[in-house]
Structures are given as structure tokens and as C-alpha cells.
Amino acid sequence: MPQYSPEPFRIKVVEPIRLPSSKERKAAIEAAGYNPFSLKAQDIFVDLLTDSGTGAMSHHQWAAMMQGDESYAGARSYYRLAEAITDIVGFRFFVPTHQGRAAENILSAVLVKPGNYVPSNMHFDTTDANIRARGGKPANLVIDEAFDPQDQHPFKGNMDIVKLKAFIERVGVENIPFGMVTVTNNAGGGQPLSMENIRAIAETYHGYGLPFYIDAARYAENAYFIKLREPGYAHKSPKEIAREMFSYADGMTMSAKKDAIVNIGGLLCLNDESVFQRVKNELILREGFPTYGGLAGRDLDAMAVGLYEALEEDYLAYRLGQTSYLSARLKEFGVQMIEPPGGHAIYIDAGHMLPHIPQAEFPGQALSVEMYLGGAIRGCEIGSVMFAHPDPDSGQMVYPKLELVRLALPRRTYTQSHLDYVADTIGEISQRAKQLRGFKFNYAPELLRHFTARFEPL
Ligand SMILES: *Cc1c(COP(=O)(O)O)cnc(C)c1O
């Protein structure tokens, strides 16, 4: 048997992609202000910017879309989604939203007051920004191993329970509207949490009377990691494991663009009826009527099917197999990454590859620009461009611990030969890393600046 899991699907519709010439690539990235977010998709060959909404839907999902019920209220599509949610996640109430961040916005609008704290292992950037936008303060309490890219801890997304208790004691329960955790931990390398840790987080929050919300964007990948790595779970199905994870929580936000394998959609699920009332009012104001929440009926049907497909074992074996394969290929070139590879992405340690570029000159940005110039590959900087910010008290710049470039793999979209192409291109760059130079900002907005910033090479 081969070391990898071949794609458990065959291709029935294709989307042509084209490799632009090196001259075209140079012109395109210059016009984009050296920000890969501003490139035109037609100028990209392999797009690993994100796994969000970029997956390929199955023929079952496309067929389900044809049955979408576009009634304004009470559509059949809503009830089909409700059935899947009851079966898989088990929370009492839910609303669809147009994306994960819309769910975060609504939850924050309803529960976060100025000066409040919201702890998590690590908040994703949109969660962080939504809490801040309501005057709240997000806090990241992941275990220290998460910051050592070479540490082989099997559950590097775990929250540090000692830190969590100390944090709650320090800021006071009355200043915490709810606690969170992100599964898998996207901002920390797509690393999973163990069931044991999720249980301990729930016990801690509940011990202080705090509601516990899961950011469940990658619940299926996390469930499969638990199956592979945590004693006692090898014989359970990913669905049983997912259900157990959710059974410890009081609600969840979710970007359905991840593990529901749809191009657009989100969910906010919860057990508290009085909060649900306020959620519905906010939803009607921002998204739409509670039975469609900013989506078309057909989107709800695709989501209902996708929630199940993401839990299929052969799919998950292939999915997690892709990141291990790409990681192994990059290692042949001596490229360092966050170890072990995450579920949805590889995180290259650009700080390690480019030690001559200081954090203030954005080593991650330098590598992602070079990946485009070298092979029309698009990745995403997750380092100082995304996270460096002035300390509110001292005004001093605070830099993140790691300078990463994320290669996120869209679900069921690229083949192993695309992964070989990516590994060979980046491997070649790593051999001439010393020649790369840093960048400075030309323009940067205050919140979520990585999306629209423009740069100039140094
Ligand atoms: C993508 C993502 C979000 C935000 O979801 P959108 O659908 O992009 O708005 C929130 N949390 C995590 C962990 C994510 O990966």
C-alpha cells in the first residue's frame, strides 16, 4: 500500500487554470501592491490563500441545491439543515448566517460589553476583531508548546487550563460574558485539541458559571485527529467524536465554508433560549429572517449535506493525508514548518527561513510574494502583517511570536501533483532565501489590515 491516501473521488467537472509567465507574474504582484489578497484569481496557478469556501462540492451537494426551497420563511431547506444540526451538533437552537464572522458579530453584539474579556485558546482574526469591535478584549491562552514550531505535542491547540483559571480569577468572572475555544486552532497552525482538554475547558468555564462556545469551523478535522491520536477514540466514528465534543459546550459559531464544504455560509448554535431570542432580533437586523439568515435556501441544503460529507472517514484520511504529504515533501528541502502538520494547512516558519529579515520588515510577506513570483502560488502571511499592533498603554509595537506563511488546502480541489509543484517551487526558493528582502507598508487600515494593505519592497 502507498504511504498516502489517494483522492477518494474522481473528477467530473474541471476548471482550467493557467500558469502566467514570469514577466506577467512580476507585473501582477506589483499592481497588487505586493499583497497577494489583491491579486486577480485569474493570475494565480495554485491558490492556497485559504481553505475557506474554496472547496469542491460533491455531486450530492449540487443535487441537493436543486431542491433548495426559496420560501422567505419556514423553507424545507431550513428544516433539512435543522435535522442535520440536531443529529451532528445537538444544540437546541440555531440560526444560519452568511459566514462565520456574521455568527461572531451577532454573538458579540448580544453578549460582549465594553471592557469585557473573552478567553480562548487562540481567537481567529475575525473573532478577535468582532470582540474588539464591541469594546471587548480577546485573550489567547493556548499551551506554551503551541509557540515552539518543532514541538511534537499531538494536541498543540489545547488550552492551558492553569492559565485559564488564573486569567478568570484575575479579570473576574463578572467581566467575562462567555468563554471560547477554536477547534482546530487555525491561528496557531490548524492544531487540534484533545477531548480531554475540551472536557477540562468546559469544566473550568462551567465551574465559574460561564457559558462555553466552540468556534467549530474545523470540527470534523479535529474529530479525526482525536480518533487518530487520543487513547480510547480509535474505534469511534468521527461523528460520535464530534457529538461528544459539542456535548460539553453551550453553543458554537461556525464558518460553514470550512468543514461544511460549502462556498458560503455560517452557523450560530446555542442552548440558551433567552440569548437565542436576542440573537434572532440581531439576526433579522443584520442577516435576514431566522430561517434563512442571509443565505439562499439552496445554500442551506448544500450545507446540510456537507456537514455529513466532512465526517466521512475516507475523506478525512485523504484530507489530513494531503497536509502530511506536502509537509514531508517540503522537509526534503529543509523547509521548517509548524510540527506536526495541521489539518487544513501547512504553516511555513518564514522567520526561520529568512532570519536576515527583521519582524518589522515582514519576513512572511517576503516569502509569500516570492512564492507568487516563483510559481504563481498564493499563500497567506500569518505573522506581523496580520497581528503586530501598538500596545494600547505604551504605544510600543507588539510582534507575534511566529512569522508564518500558511498554505491552506481547499477541500477536494487540488491533486497530489499540484502539491508536488508547490513543494518543488518553495523548495527552490528556500535554496536562495538569503537573496530575499523585506517590505514596508504603503497603506494599512486599523482593523484586519492584511486584507487591504499595500506594500513596497525594501
Ligand atoms: C474562517 C474562520 C472564521 C470566520 O469565518 P468566515 O466564514 O470567514 O467569516 C472564524 N473562525 C475560524 C477558526 C475560521 O477558520
Mean pLDDT across the chain: 96
Q: Which of 259, 261, 278 is nearest to 270 (CA)?
A: 278
Residue 231 pLDDT more than 80? yes
Q: Does residue 213 have its Cβ closer than 6 Å to ligand 1?
A: no
Residue 134 backbone phi and psi in degrees, to 5: -100, 15
Instruction: Decide if 134 contacts 110 (C-beta within 8 A).
Output: no
218 CA to centre of ligand 1 in angstroms:
9
437 CA to centre of ligand 1 in angstroms:
31
Q: Does residue 101 have its Cβ closer than 6 Å to ligand 1?
A: yes
Q: Does residue 266 have its Cβ closer than 6 Å to ligand 1?
A: yes
pLDDT digits (tens, 9 = 90+) for 369-400: 999 999 999 999 989 998 888 888 898 999 98
β-bridge partners, 267: 96, 254
Q: Nearest-5° angle of CA 448, CA 43, CA 358? A: 45
Would you call 76 exposed, middle or buried from its count of C-beta atoms within 10 A (0-12, 13-18, 19+)?
middle
387 alpha-carbon distance from chain centroid = 15
Q: Is 430 helix (H, G, I), strand (E, B) or coil?
A: helix
Task: Give nearest CA residue, ligand 1 atom 4.
Answer: 100
Residue 125 pLDDT more than 90? no
128 CA to centre of ligand 1 in angstroms:
11
pLDDT digits (tens, 9 = 90+) for 408-447: 999 999 999 999 999 999 999 999 999 999 999 888 887 7
Total-model pTM: 0.93
Q: Does residue 54 have its Cβ closer than 6 Å to ligand 1?
A: no
Task: Give nearest CA residue, ligand 1 atom 1.
Answer: 255
Which of 215, 222, 263 gets mutated to test ligand 1 (max ligand atoms within 8 A of its CB)? 215
Q: Does residue 156 have its Cβ closer than 6 Å to ligand 1?
A: no
pLDDT digits (tens, 9 = 90+) for 280-314: 999 999 999 999 999 999 999 999 999 999 999 99
207 CA to centre of ligand 1 in angstroms:
28
Which of 49, 50, 51, 52 gets mutated to test ligand 1 (max ligand atoms within 8 A of its CB)? 52
355 CA to centre of ligand 1 in angstroms:
30
Name the pLDDT band for 175 (thresholds 50, 70, 90): very high
pLDDT of residue 218: 98
Q: Does residue 215 have its Cβ closer than 6 Å to ligand 1?
A: yes
Q: Does residue 48 have its Cβ closer than 6 Å to ligand 1?
A: no
pLDDT digits (tens, 9 = 90+) for 337-367: 999 999 999 999 999 999 999 999 999 999 9
CA-atom Rg of the chain in angstroms? 21
Q: Does residue 222 have its Cβ closer than 6 Å to ligand 1?
A: no
Task: Give nearest CA residue, ligand 1 atom 8.
Answer: 100
pLDDT of residue 245: 98
Q: Nearest-5° angle of CA 110, CA 216, CA 323? A: 145
Q: Does residue 127 have its Cβ closer than 6 Å to ligand 1?
A: yes
274 CA to centre of ligand 1 in angstroms:
25
Ligand 1 atom closest to the CA of 187, numbered from 1: 13
Residue 2 pLDDT more than 70? no
Q: Does residue 52 have its Cβ closer than 6 Å to ligand 1?
A: yes
pLDDT of residue 1: 58
101 CA to centre of ligand 1 in angstroms:
6
Residue type, 226: I
Instruction: Decide if 229 contacts 343 (C-beta within 8 A).
Output: no
Task: Give nearest CA residue, ligand 1 atom 6.
Answer: 100
Ligand 1 atom closest to the CA of 184, numbered from 1: 13
Q: At what angle do helices 195-207 and 238-247 cross, to 10 degrees?
A: 20
Task: Give nearest CA residue, ligand 1 atom 11.
Answer: 124
Q: Is 28 helix (H, G, I), strand (E, B) or coil?
A: helix
Q: Does residue 98 have its Cβ closer than 6 Å to ligand 1?
A: no
23 CA to centre of ligand 1 in angstroms:
35
Q: Does residue 100 have its Cβ closer than 6 Å to ligand 1?
A: yes
The DSSP bridge pattern shows strands 93-97 and 266-270 to be antiparallel
State the catalytic residues.
72, 124-125, 215, 217, 258, 450
